[in-house]
C-alpha cells in the first residue's frame, strides 16, 4: 500500500501554526549564522559592526535577535540592480 501523496491537513496546519508562533519571530544567536547564510566566524565579525542589529533582552533565554531586524539588515548588503 503506497503512502497518500496529499499531506494530512491537520499536520500542515500544525506545522504552519508552529512557524507563526511569536517565539519564531526571534532567532537564537546560535542559529543566526545559518539564518544569514554565513559561517560562525563571519557572523561574529559582522556582529562587531556598528550597523549590526542589537540583540533582544529576554531574561533567561540567551542572546536573541529579531528575525525582521536580521532580514532588514541583510537586505541592505545585497547589491542593487539598476
Position 3 scores a pLDDT of 60
For the chain, the structural domain boundaries read 25-77
Alpha helices, DSSP H, located in 2-80: 9-19, 32-36, 40-47, 67-77
Any residues with CB less than 8 A from the CB of 71 and at least 6 apart, and which? none
Q: At 7, is the secondary structure helix, strand, or coil?
A: coil
Number of H helices, E strands in the chain: 4, 3
Position 15 scores a pLDDT of 72
- Please report, in tens digits, the pLDDT of each residue of the chain (82 residues total): 556 566 678 777 777 666 666 557 899 999 999 999 999 999 999 999 999 999 998 888 889 999 999 999 988 877 766 6
Task: Sort residue 69 into left (φ over 0), alpha (ψ -120 to 50) or beta.
Answer: alpha
Calpha distance 57→69 (Å, rounded): 14
Amino acid at each position: 500500500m503506497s503512502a497518500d501523496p496529499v499531506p494530512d491537513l491537520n499536520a500542515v496546519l500544525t506545522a504552519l501554526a508552529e512557524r507563526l508562533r511569536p517565539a519564531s519571530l526571534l532567532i537564537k544567536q546560535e542559529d543566526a549564522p545559518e539564518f544569514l547564510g554565513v559561517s560562525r566566524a563571519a557572523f561574529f565579525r559582522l556582529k562587531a559592526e556598528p550597523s549590526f542589529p542589537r540583540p533582544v533582552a529576554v531574561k533567561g533565554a540567551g542572546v536573541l535577535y529579531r528575525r525582521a531586524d536580521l532580514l532588514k539588515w541583510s537586505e541592505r548588503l545585497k547589491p542593487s540592480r539598476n
